Amino acid sequence: MTVLHLADEGEATDLVAFLSRLLHYDRGAAVRLQAAGTALAVFGRPPSFEVLAVRAVRLAKPYENGLDATLDVTVSAGEFLESVDDTAATAAVPAAVTGPPWAGVLPPRGGWRAEPGLPLPEALRATVAAAVAEFRSRTRELVPEQRTRAALDRIGRDIWSREVGQTPLPVRAVHAAQSLGFLRPGAAPDGGREPAETPPALLSSGAWLRLRTPYGSIAVRRAAGLGTFDLSVR
């Protein structure tokens, strides 16, 4: 069995938190793992947000016995979570599963350029809070016979497809980052809050946008010729 040696217990703890959040939204979630050298990328898609979430994990060495090879496999998120040993800082790679369609359409590895106009972290968190409050308020205003799934979806699309600040990034990408723990305030080594957070960055490559934070990234892809984003396979 392939064993991944994580850099330290902190990496294991963060990986457990990320996988647990994905499984909160989809108990049958799959993740695609790509590893080379001492870097592991874990890709997942929380269905409520229609985005790709990416968690980078530092490795002490790629595989058991330090084999010089690369890894690219789609596995059960639940089985991968169960294999993580926080104390030993290791994770066993489960058997491969048939990947969902999104697993075959990943963001490019290179060619990213910075995009201007992204608000600061506090403003991003405030944007999400305001959007959640608006969604709750508008759905509460619906009489029971109007509170259908279609009506809720229409309200959601209106709110979550709005653009953030002066950027083309949809609000749902920021909501996903917040919900997956990517927008949490930074912490100083002594446990206190840093006087200044490391701000997230907005990057683009072709049709893709990527919200990058110190804790992970959210990627969305613009539909060809449209002002919307999707993850459909061409």
Query: What confidence tens digit (pLDDT) does each residue in 87-142 have?
Result: 999 999 999 999 899 999 999 989 999 999 999 999 999 999 999 999 999 999 99
Query: What confidence tens digit (pLDDT) does each residue in 156-184 have?
Result: 999 999 999 999 999 999 999 999 999 98
Positive or negative torsion for Cα 104, 99, 156, 200: negative
Q: What is the pLDDT of residue 224?
A: 55
Say if residue 106 is exposed, middle or buried (CB neighbours under 10 Å; 0-12, 13-18, 19+).
middle
Q: What is the pLDDT of residue 190?
A: 46
Query: pLDDT > 70: what percent of the chain?
Result: 88
CA 15/CA 10 separation, integer angstroms: 9
CATH class of 3-104: alpha beta
Please list, in sequence order, all residues whose beta carbon lies within 8 angstroms of the beta carbon of residue 157, skipping any fewer than 6 positions away: none
Across-strand partners of 213? 216
Query: In Å, how far are 7, 20, 161 from 58, measured between CA atoms?
Result: 5, 19, 33
Q: What is the pLDDT of residue 189?
A: 43
Q: Which amino acid is at 97?
A: V
DSSP the chain: --EEEESSHHHHHHHHHHHHHHHHH-TT-EEEEEEETTEEEEEE--TTTTSEEEEEEEEEESSGGG----EEEEEEHHHHHHHEETTTTEEE-----PPPGGGG-PPPSS--EEES-PPPHHHHHHHHHHHHHHHHHHHHTS-GGG--HHHHHHHHHHHHTSBPTTSS-BHHHHHHHHHTTTTPPPB-TTSSBPSS----EEEEETTEEEEEETTEEEEEEEPTTSSSEE----
* Contact between residue 46 and residue 23 where contact means Cβ atoms under 8 Å apart: no
Where exactly are the structural domains of the chain? 3-104, 113-230
173 compared with 234, residue with greater pLDDT: 173
Average pLDDT score over residue span 199-214: 96
Q: What is the pLDDT of residue 66?
A: 64
Q: What is the pLDDT of residue 101?
A: 93
